[in-house]
Copies of this chain bind each other. A is one copy, B any other.
Amino acid sequence: MATLYHVPLSPFCRKVRLSLAEKKIECELIEERYWEQDPDFLRRNPAGKVPVLKIDGMTLSESAAICEYLEETRPDVPLLPKDPVGRFEVRRLVGWFDDKFHREVTSNLVYERVNKKVMKQGYPDSKNVKTGSQKIKYHLDYMTWLLDQRRWLAGDVMTLADFAAAAHLSALDYISDVDWNRSEAVKDWYAKIKSRPAFRGILADQVPGFPPPAHYADLDF
């Protein structure tokens, strides 16, 4: 059985958790307070961050590399299409969410509101929170534009791009930072992905001191 060292609201961990669950890879979850820099953990991953996945006798880090490894070794449930152009589009969007969206939105909201308190690093910086709340609008509009032309974000089948996006949005939804009224298309897309069995673990997450809003785990939000 695999073991994943993670923190509940990390979008990078959530993307890996969704991939594992969709591919039906059994995995034990261990919460890792990586900011405490436990020497045992640093030995497992010198980068000192989560996710870290123990699988096939190895210890893997870097969420993008982990997802590609799972795709190559467990291709039965594919999360990337077969053609290079389709694969490019999935990877482009994974990069979009894990780099641009993360920098502009997730780090300004989830990190300011939750991580700082959990890591005892002070109070949220209201300037950053305001920036994140502004920037998410543009990203929701970009997703709407994509979903006007496609059933899923990268094309007509669900892929890792949808999991990357849902990983960020679900972490933001846990702290009520997504305005689902802004876009019918994004809301419908999230309802579809949220109702997948792979999403159940994510919806059951609880961060001490931060109870999720009632709509968080509700499939008819």
A→B interface (CB under 8 Å): 46-47, 58, 60-62, 64-66, 68-69, 72-73, 84-85, 87-88, 91-92, 94-96, 99-100, 142
Contact = CB atoms under 8 A, between A and B. Distances in A.
A47 B85 contact: no
Given A100-B47, A142-B46, A84 B69 contact: yes
Question: So how many copies of this chain end up in the complex?
Answer: 2
A92 B62 contact: yes
B100 A88 contact: no
Nearest to A94: B65
Contacts of A99: 62
A88 B61 CA distance: 9
Nearest to A58: B85
B142 A92 contact: no
